[in-house]
Amino acid sequence: MQKKNVKDKIGKPIHEQDYVFTRYRGGTHEGRVEKIVMSREEAEDEGVSNPPKVVYTDQHGHPVAHNPQTLIKDDE
């Protein structure tokens, strides 16, 4: 899978700098995509497991990594 083939929950392509969100424990995690991790080497460098992962900092300043298919791209 290439970075250009990463899609959100409803099938929209996700790219770096896109704004994404997901529902999480009664609230949301939302932020601008910083990196899309595709390989095991990148995953080890970022401290995440089971690529692909979309990495961003949420609205509270916490680093977040989610599976692309759990996210929704916001077209702002």
- Give the C-alpha separation, 30 to 23, whole Å: 9
Asked whether the predicted pLDDT for residue 3 surpasses 80, the reply is no
Structural domain total, the chain: 1
Residue 29 φ then ψ, to 5°: -110, 125
Q: Using CA atoms, how far apart are residues 69 and 52, in angstroms rounded to an integer?
A: 10
Residue 46 belongs to what domain range? 3-74
Check which CATH number belongs to the domain holding 36 and give it. Answer: 2.30.30.1060
The CA distances from residue 17 to 6, 36, 38, 47, in Å, are 14, 10, 16, 20
Helix (H, G, I), strand (E, B) or coil at 16: coil
Label residue 21 by pLDDT band (50, 70, 90).
Answer: very high
Within 10 Å of residue 6's Cβ, how many Cβ atoms?
22
Taking the model in full, what pTM does it have?
A: 0.88
Give the tens place of pLDDT for each residue, 24-47: 889 989 999 999 999 999 999 999
